[in-house]
Amino acid sequence: MPEAAPRILQIVEVLGPSEQGKSIPFKCRAEDGALYYVKGQQTNRASLWCEWISAHLAVALGLPIPPFSLVQVDEALRQELPREWQHIGCTPAFGSRHRSSTAWFEASLVQQVPLPLQQDVLAFDWWIRNMDRLTGNTNLLWDADQKQLVMIDHNLAFDPYFDVAMFREHHVFAAQWPVLCGDLVLQDELLRRMSDALPRARWACDNAPAEWQWANAEMDVPADFDLDKVLALLARGATPELWRTV
């Protein structure tokens, strides 16, 4: 039986822009009662595509990403917001569920992260060309109560200017790079998992909001995001080329 299209949760309350995050997501409450960090029209369409595709791949790989959903602010609610908040827009947006008891992950916590998880995160970022998890800005959270890592912010994935040298030297889990390069059994296992996850990227592309194909609300300017190129890039995850080329 075909998988149902994703549900779009309606936002019932906009609490304001987040104090953290370069893309300045809005903290909102959705109809399910949960709080979400919402990236809407205040960011560009490429960012939304990157978040949506990366989130599906992360889940398929079993990585610790918060629950996420498509969300939407009704135009009537948007009109009631302060003028400086209205750029959140009313087209479908990407929402990442707020997780309590978390704080920004500092490099000093690296030793508390299990080595296999460090390797998984490093390989995942290499696969999706994510330069946005370096030691100075990890885009990770740490749940001190559960002693668990939480991955966030993949809006800069599929970077066309991906810097291999910087990634290998400054990724927060860069110390695991020699392990990835030297362990052929680990490489094969990661390639298998990425190959198994790859159909989720296609599903995500096929089930994204139609509005994201356009750069503007009038939907007459195509979005600057090449889905075919991204899917071709991800297909490397099914071949040993993943470890040899960028």
Q: What is the pLDDT of residues 17-62, one digit of tens each?
A: 987 655 689 999 999 999 999 999 888 999 999 999 999 999 999 9
Same domain, 174 and 106: yes
Looking at residue 3, its pLDDT comes to 76
Number of domains the chain contains:
2
Given the DSSP bridges, would you call strands 93-97 and 35-39 parallel, antiparallel or unpaired?
antiparallel
Is the distance from CB of 172 to CB of 110 less than 8 angstroms?
yes
98 - beta bridge partners?
none
Same domain, 134 and 80: no
Same domain, 94 and 205: yes
Looking at residue 220, its pLDDT comes to 84
pLDDT digits (tens, 9 = 90+) for 219-240: 888 989 999 999 999 998 888 8
Same domain, 109 and 183: yes
Same domain, 91 and 22: yes
Which residues have C-beta within 8 Å of that of residue 62, sequence separation ≥ 6? 120
Same domain, 221 and 175: no
Structure tokens at 40: 């809407």
Which residues have C-beta within 8 Å of that of residue 184, sequence separation ≥ 6? none
231 located within any domain: no
Same domain, 214 and 180: no
Structure tokens at 64: 């610790």
Looking at residue 1, its pLDDT comes to 47
Write out residues in the chain with pLDDT < 70, as ranges.
Answer: 1-2, 20-23, 245-246
Same domain, 117 and 187: yes
Q: What residue has token string 């909102």?
A: 28
1 located within any domain: no
108 located within any domain: yes
Looking at residue 201, its pLDDT comes to 96
Its domain, for residue 157, covers 102-191
3 located within any domain: no
Same domain, 96 and 12: yes
Same domain, 57 and 111: no
Same domain, 124 and 187: yes
